[in-house]
């Protein structure tokens, strides 16, 4: 078994962090557009947001060569390595350093966002606070979705060093974020926890569909930018990754959900399956790009 | 960043005969364990750099068929090691500050700080640092900084029997390289000094017989992958903002056109 420097735990984190931040974006934008109408949708997004990111961060920490030194990315020990004078560790030219701070801030912000989401049910004043916190969280969430693409594209790895990788990852983040909200909403409808009125599920299905178009454009761009190089051929044409790319990511993860979602039929059981396909496609995108760069 | 007292190694591949004394000296001084290797049909051994092999003489075979090679075997030798870039991608990329560049230009990994994220492994244009599964940290050549601090030369340099390895101030190494290149030119060669300008000027420079770094498995015009970070971010921010705006407008839209409203 080949040992990868960055293996499945990292691919999992790239996927989970993007999903959480994407769900957060859906929650905030829905809330800003119409607080009343999207109360449930926005609350679902808010309640999803931090957990995948926390899980992803834990995976990253465990995957470190020295897990208990994760704090070396947060605090810098003073001269002579005395623990008495730590100060903030931040390396502006390191996307890894930026990323670890962005993730940290996002986790706390999105946890606070859950707090105000719950508060906004009994207290009307919390609604404004929720909007403010949401708007403050947007750039952080956006940074979470972008940094992973920058992180691996700013390397000497020919597969990863692709200018459009950040775009492909950003679009995939919002796609999986919207799909995760649709999944939970569909599950809640099946369980009878939310009423059928308001047609929120078709709305989310169509949103996912529209975002998938953006991701398809970005994915085509990603291929075109690297076309002709051996690197992209590993992703799209090798026996190991080609089928996974075309069937898993493009076919089942994007085209099938696109065709289904654009109509927005709002059938909860179908929506569960389609959302799962989108999420699997999102994971495989990270997996294929990450591993194909290391074979 | 680097003071004028920058130190450097000159690796003259035209003088290297592939004895691998440097490899052994490196292992001995740095107390790096040997690795069990297999014969893969090449004299290059171990097959590649690793956490326990910080320098390795590459036995590069010319592009001829096997029979011809057996009749007249010849190699291009290149001592592979950390090139101690003047503008090191690894130092840019390190999130813990474990990767440091000293004032004399030596780039090393502080083993007490490295958390083992392996980002340096991925950004290095030369594939130098390697993760050590035993210590959980990344490892690479550190130009025997302990010896240099005591006024000695790196272990590999002291072991070299042909003068293919020289160590001193970078200015002195540039002068020496120029002298040797002048002699080679006089003999009809067209030598090239790799690392004079590359990546902020390398701290280990190769004197190549001609301007053909690829022949020696060196990237021509190596790029710092950690630069143009802002542009990479912008390429994510612009579509990201557009998507957020689109999402907002979409959620504002009345969905009167949805006939299936409320239906299941």
Write the ipTM: 0.93
- The domain that holds B66 is classified in CATH as 3.30.70.20
On whether the pTM is more than 0.80, the answer is yes
Q: Is the dihedral of CA A111, A112, A115, A116 positive or negative?
A: negative
Q: Are residues B142 and B191 in the same domain?
A: yes
pLDDT at A198 over 70: no
DSSP-derived secondary structure for A174-233: HHHHHHHHHHHHHHHHHTT-S-STT-HHHHHHHHHHHHHHHHHHHHHHHHHHHTTSHHHH
The residues with which A87 forms a beta bridge, in sequence order, are: A76
Task: Decide which of A282 and B62 is more confident.
Answer: A282
CA distance B245 to B234: 16
Q: Are residues B22 and B119 in the same domain?
A: yes
Looking at residue B72, its pLDDT comes to 87
> What single-letter DSSP state applies at residue A81?
G
Q: Are residues B134 and B196 in the same domain?
A: yes
Pair of tokens at residue A113:
């966002």
> What single-letter DSSP state applies at residue A238?
S
Torsion of CA B237, B239, B244, B245, to 10 degrees: 120
CA distance B30 to B141: 9
Model confidence pLDDT, tens digit, residues B56-85? 999 999 888 888 888 888 899 999 999 999
Interchain CB distance below 8 Å, A30 and B239:
no
Average pLDDT over residues B86-112: 95
- DSSP H helices, A34-94, are 39-48, 50-63
Q: Of A39-53, B82-96, B221-235, which gets the smallest average pLDDT?
A: B221-235
Looking at residue A78, its pLDDT comes to 58
pLDDT at B226 over 70: yes
Q: Of B13-27, B179-193, B216-230, which gets the smallest average pLDDT?
A: B216-230
Looking at residue B260, its pLDDT comes to 43
pLDDT band at B259 (very low <50, low <70, confident <90, very high): very low
pLDDT at A232 over 90: no
Structural domain that includes position B175? 7-216
Looking at residue A290, its pLDDT comes to 95
> Based on the number of CB atoms within 10 Å of its own CB, is A72 exposed (0-12), middle (13-18) or buried (19 or more)?
buried
Q: What does DSSP say about strands B204-208 and B7-12: parallel, antiparallel, or unpaired?
A: parallel
Average pLDDT over residues A93-106: 96
Instruction: Give how many domains chain B has, as a whole number.
Output: 2
Mean confidence (pLDDT) of chain A: 92
Q: Are residues B211 and B237 in the same domain?
A: no
Interchain CB distance below 8 Å, A199 and B125:
no
Interchain CB distance below 8 Å, A69 and B133:
no
Q: Which residue, B152, B236, B211, B212, is CA-closest to A146?
A: B236
> What single-letter DSSP state applies at residue A6?
S
Q: How far is CA A1 from CA A7, A64, A295, B53, B165, in A?
A: 12, 19, 11, 22, 38
Model confidence pLDDT, tens digit, residues A18-32? 999 999 999 999 999
Q: Sort out which chain A residues have CB atoms less than 8 A from B125's CB and list them.
A: 156
Report the SS3 class of residue A83. Answer: coil
Q: What percent of chain A has pLDDT over 90?
A: 80
Does A61 fall in a domain? yes
Task: Decide which of A204 and A77 is more confident.
Answer: A204
Q: Which residue, B221, B203, B217, is CA-closest to B2?
A: B203
Average pLDDT over residues B208-215: 94
Q: Sort out which chain B residues have CB atoms less than 8 A from A34's CB and list them.
A: 251-252
Looking at residue A268, its pLDDT comes to 87
Structural domain that includes position A253? 8-292
Contact A72, B117 (CB under 8 A): no
Number of alpha carbons in the 13 Å side-chain half-sphere of residue B227: 8
Looking at residue A188, its pLDDT comes to 93
Does A67 fall in a domain? yes
- As a whole number of angstroms, the longest Cα–Cα distance in chain A is 65
> Based on the number of CB atoms within 10 Å of its own CB, is B209 exposed (0-12), middle (13-18) or buried (19 or more)?
middle
Q: Which residue, A133, A256, A249, A161, is CA-closest to A205?
A: A256
The residues with which B100 forms a beta bridge, in sequence order, are: B108
Looking at residue A81, its pLDDT comes to 52
CA distance A96 to A109: 20
Instruction: Give how many domains chain A has, as a whole number.
Output: 1
Q: Residues 181 to 220 of A: which have CB under 8 A from any B CB? A: 189, 196-199, 202-203, 207, 210-211, 214, 218
By CA distance, what is A143's nearest residue in B?
A: B237
The residues with which B130 forms a beta bridge, in sequence order, are: B139
Contact A204, A45 (CB under 8 A): no
The residues with which B58 forms a beta bridge, in sequence order, are: B78
Mutate to test the interface with B, among A72, A173, A178, A194 (most CBs of B within 10 A): A72
Q: Of A71-85, A198-212, B30-44, which gets the smallest average pLDDT?
A: A71-85
Does B264 fall in a domain? no
Distance from CA of A5 to the nearest CA of B (A): 7
Model confidence pLDDT, tens digit, residues A115-136? 999 999 999 999 999 999 999 9
Q: How far is CA A137 from CA A83, A92, B110, in A?
A: 32, 20, 35
Q: What does DSSP say about strands B165-169 and B137-139: parallel, antiparallel, or unpaired?
A: unpaired
Interchain CB distance below 8 Å, B94 and A81:
no
CA distance B114 to B93: 12
pLDDT band at A248 (very low <50, low <70, confident <90, very high): very high
Interchain CB distance below 8 Å, A189 and B264:
yes
Looking at residue B261, its pLDDT comes to 39
Q: Are residues B34 and B99 in the same domain?
A: yes
Q: What region does B179 belong to: left with phi over 0, alpha with psi -120 to 50, or beta?
A: alpha
Interchain CB distance below 8 Å, A166 and B236:
yes
Q: Are residues B197 and B247 in the same domain?
A: no
* Residue B76 parent element (H or E): strand B76-80
Pair of tokens at residue A288:
């294929």
B46 prior amide bond cis, ω within 30? yes
Q: Are residues B167 and B107 in the same domain?
A: yes
pLDDT at A82 over 60: no
* Residue A144 parent element (H or E): helix A125-153
- The domain that holds A50 is classified in CATH as 1.20.1630.10
pLDDT band at A83 (very low <50, low <70, confident <90, very high): low
Q: Residues 35 to 94 of A: which have CB under 8 A from any B CB? A: 38, 64-66, 69-70, 72-73, 76-77, 81, 89, 91, 93-94
Model confidence pLDDT, tens digit, residues A140-155? 999 999 999 999 999 9
Does A68 fall in a domain? yes
Does B50 fall in a domain? yes
Q: Is the dihedral of CA A10, A14, A19, A21 positive or negative?
A: positive
Q: What does DSSP say about strands A87-88 and A75-76: parallel, antiparallel, or unpaired?
A: antiparallel
Looking at residue B262, its pLDDT comes to 38
Q: Of A5-14, B49-58, B135-144, B248-257, which gets the smallest average pLDDT?
A: B248-257
pLDDT at A12 over 80: yes
Average pLDDT over residues A152-179: 94
Nearest to A72 among B115, B122, B261 (CB): B115
């Amino acid at each position: 078994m080949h040992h990868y420097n960055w293996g499945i735990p990292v691919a999992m984190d790239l996927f989970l962090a993007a999903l959480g931040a994407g769900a957060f974006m859906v929650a905030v934008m829905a809330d800003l557009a119409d607080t009343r109408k999207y109360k449930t949708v926005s609350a679902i997004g808010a309640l999803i947001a931090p957990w995948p990111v926390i899980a992803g961060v834990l995976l990253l920490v465990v995957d470190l060569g020295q897990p208990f030194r994760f704090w070396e990315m947060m605090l810098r020990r003073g001269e002579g390595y005395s623990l008495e004078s730590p100060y903030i560790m931040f390396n502006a030219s390191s996307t890894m350093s930026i990323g670890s701070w962005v993730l940290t801030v996002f986790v706390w912000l999105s946890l606070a966002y859950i707090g105000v989401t719950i508060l906004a049910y009994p207290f009307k004043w919390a609604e404004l606070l929720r909007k403010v916190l949401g708007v403050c969280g947007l750039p952080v969430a956006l940074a979470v979705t972008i940094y992973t693409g920058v992180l691996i594209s700013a390397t000497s790895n020919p597969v990863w060093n692709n200018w459009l990788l950040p775009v492909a990852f950003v679009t995939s983040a919002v796609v999986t974020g919207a799909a995760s909200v649709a999944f939970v909403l569909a599950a809640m409808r099946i369980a009878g926890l939310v009423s059928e009125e308001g047609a929120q599920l078709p709305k989310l299905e169509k949103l996912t569909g529209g975002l998938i178009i953006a991701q398809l454009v970005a994915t085509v761009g990603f291929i075109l930018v690297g076309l002709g190089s051996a690197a992209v051929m590993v992703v799209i044409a090798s026996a190991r990754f080609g089928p996974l790319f075309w069937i898993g990511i493009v076919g089942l993860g994007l085209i099938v959900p696109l065709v289904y979602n654009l109509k927005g039929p709002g059938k909860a059981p179908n929506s569960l399956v389609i959302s799962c396909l989108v999420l699997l496609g999102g994971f495989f995108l990270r997996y294929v790009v990450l591993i194909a760069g290391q074979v | 960043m680097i003071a004028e007292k920058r130190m450097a190694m000159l690796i003259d591949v035209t003088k290297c005969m592939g004895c691998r004394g440097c490899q052994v000296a490196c292992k001995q001084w740095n107390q790096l364990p040997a690795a069990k290797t297999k014969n893969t049909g090449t004299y290059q051994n171990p097959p590649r750099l690793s956490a326990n092999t910080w320098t390795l003489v590459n036995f590069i075979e010319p592009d001829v068929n096997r029979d011809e090679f057996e009749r007249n075997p010849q190699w291009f030798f290149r001592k592979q090691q950390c090139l101690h870039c003047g503008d090191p991608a690894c130092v840019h990329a390190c999130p813990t500050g474990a990767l440091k560049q000293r004032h004399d230009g030596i780039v090393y990994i502080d083993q007490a700080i490295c958390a083992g994220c392996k980002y340096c492994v991925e950004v290095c244009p030369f594939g130098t640092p390697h993760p050590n599964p035993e210590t959980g940290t990344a490892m690479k050549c550190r130009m025997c900084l302990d010896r240099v601090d005591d006024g000695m030369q790196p272990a590999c340099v002291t072991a070299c029997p042909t003068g293919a390895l020289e160590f001193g101030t970078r200015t002195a190494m540039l002068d020496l390289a120029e002298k040797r290149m002048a002699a080679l030119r006089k003999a009809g060669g067209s030598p090239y000094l790799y690392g004079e300008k590359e990546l902020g000027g390398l701290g280990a420079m190769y004197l190549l017989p001609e301007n053909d770094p690829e022949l020696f498995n060196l990237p021509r015009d190596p790029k710092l992958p950690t630069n143009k970070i802002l542009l990479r971010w912008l390429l994510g921010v612009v579509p990201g903002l557009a998507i957020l705006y689109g999402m907002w407008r979409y959620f504002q839209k009345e969905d009167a056109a949805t006939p299936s409203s409320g239906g299941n």
